[in-house]
Amino acid sequence: QLQLQESGPGLVKPSETLSLTCTVSGASITTTSFYWGWIRQPPGKGLEWIGSIYYNGNTYYNPSLKSRVTISVDTSNNQFSLKLSSVPAADTAVYYCARHFRAGYNNLGYFDFWGQGTLVTVSS
């Protein structure tokens, strides 16, 4: 059974860089049918897609976050990672990693498997 697990610091200082890693087990991250994505949810609010990466490094980013986001993939360890720079308090959220169906050229589909999520608080 496919499982995803987020890991990283639960507390980040304002203006610093938030870094998270998602470890995938039960399937290879190099599968051709899927991207691997990050989604966040501020406390009491809705879901926001951050970005997604293919095993070859191809990425899609949310335009509203693109200037601060870097998503990378480590196929040897079956992991992918998120870096979000210059974080303000508004970046406080539960961060989820998920498998993202590759619907076709210039088209991303559904998220079928999700990690449990990790709360990252931005505070001094």
Partner 1 sequence: QSVLTQPPSVSGAPGQRVTISCTGSSSNIGAGYDVHWYQQLSGTAPKLLVYGNSNRPSGVPDRFSGSKSGTSASLAITGLQAEDEADYYCQSYDSSLSGSVFGGGTKLTVL
Contact between 62 and partner 1 (CB under 8 A)?
Answer: yes
The CA radius of gyration of the chain, in Å to the nearest whole number, is: 14
The one among 30, 58, 72, 116 contacting partner 1 by CB under 8 A: 116
The one among 29, 61, 79, 93 contacting partner 1 by CB under 8 A: 61
How many helices and strands, by DSSP H and E, does the chain display?
0, 11
Cα angle 77, 53, 68; round to 5 = 105
Written as six digits, the tokens of 74 are 């480590």
Identity (one letter) of the amino acid at 119? L
Segment near partner 1 (CB under 8 A), from 11-19, 45-53, 76-84, 85-93? 45-53
Contact between 40 and partner 1 (CB under 8 A)?
Answer: no
For partner 1, the binding residues (CB under 8 A) are 37, 39, 46-49, 51-52, 60-63, 96, 100-101, 103, 106-112, 114-117
